[in-house]
Amino acid sequence: MRLKTIAQETVAALERGSYTASNGATIDLAALMRPCLDETRCYTADALEGIRDSVLATMPPHDHTLFELANESTLQGAARLAASGTYAQIGVLNFASAKNPGGGFLRGAQAQEESLARSSGLYLSLLRCPEYYAHHRREKTLLYSDRMIFSPNCPIIRDDFGVWINEPLIVSFITSPAPNYGAVRSNEPENLDQIPRVLDQRMGKLLALAVDHGCDALVLGAWGCGVFRNDPQLVASLFRSHLRGAFYGRFRCVVFSVLDRTTQQKTYRAFEQVMV
């Protein structure tokens, strides 16, 4: 119930155009959201293929990429990078629902996208791209598509506990759905062996989109390894292949924020084994 209330409060603040920070200051949310909403874009798979090819035809601008792994939420990883004041633009991967903006955050659901939607202006930005959701509702396969939404300069306004932030943090969200391994296994097992290829291809496009928009830092994580049940070892290995390969030096810093509160921490350990 509390998460649903927080979601409703966030939407109300976005619609009102302001919120009262924890220090009592009134934050002009409308002014912060205007550039994000004006520049939000939905990209087709073909457009992203062209962007990827163009990006990879250029020389990487940096000599090195710094990699970090932490058992933390995406919000914590983004806040840490933003607080450093080191990076020009921080990209954050939204582990997206293919069919519903913000996933189930309005119902009080709890997963990575829901956390982001409750805590930022992301939801209003996603509403600017109805064609993204309409396409996936028409599409039958649970592999989903390579379509993506880029939400630039979007304010984070609450922390993981729902506390209003005194000074909003500005990041750029990349919204992309991982294939739903669990649902594919149950409903279209003939496509199960396509998942590694789909993940690999989609990763290349989302990384290229971040580069194309000038992101020099990136917050990634265990994309699709929660309710979608993708193998964290596979996801980590594919990310590593891209980031240590063709995308090395295209970002100054890449943070893997992998929140794993389980006793055995299998998901976090999988990333630790591959990335460190």
Provide mean pLDDT across the span 255-276.
95
- The pLDDT of residue 1 is 61
Residue pLDDT, tens place only, 159-181: 999 999 999 999 999 999 999 99
Question: Residue 205 has what DSSP assignment?
Answer: H
pLDDT confidence band for 275 (50 / 70 / 90): confident
Burial (CB < 10 A; 0-12, 13-18, 19+), residue 141, is middle
Residue pLDDT, tens place only, 187-238: 999 999 999 999 999 999 999 999 999 999 999 999 999 999 999 999 999 9
Contacts of 252 (CB under 8 A, 6+ apart): 62, 65, 66, 86, 87, 216, 217
Provide mean pLDDT across the span 44-64.
98
In the chain, the number of structural domains is 1
Q: Is 262 a residue whose pLDDT tops 70?
A: yes
Residue pLDDT, tens place only, 1-30: 699 999 999 999 999 999 999 999 999 999
Provide mean pLDDT across the span 116-128.
99
* Residue at token pair 């943090």: 169
CATH of the domain at 170: 3.40.220.10
Residue pLDDT, tens place only, 88-119: 999 999 999 999 999 999 999 999 999 999 99
Token pair for 37: 């909403």
33 pairs with which residues across the strands?
none
Provide mean pLDDT across the span 130-157.
98
End-to-end CA distance of the chain: 38
Q: 65 and 251 in contact (C-beta within 8 Å)?
A: yes
Provide mean pLDDT across the span 31-51.
99
Q: What whole-number distance in Å separates Cα of residue 127 and Cα of residue 110?
A: 20
- Structural domain boundaries, residue 163: 2-275
155 pairs with which residues across the strands?
170
- The pLDDT of residue 217 is 99
Q: 53 and 209 in contact (C-beta within 8 Å)?
A: no
* Residue at token pair 């949310």: 29
pLDDT confidence band for 276 (50 / 70 / 90): confident
Q: 136 and 32 in contact (C-beta within 8 Å)?
A: no
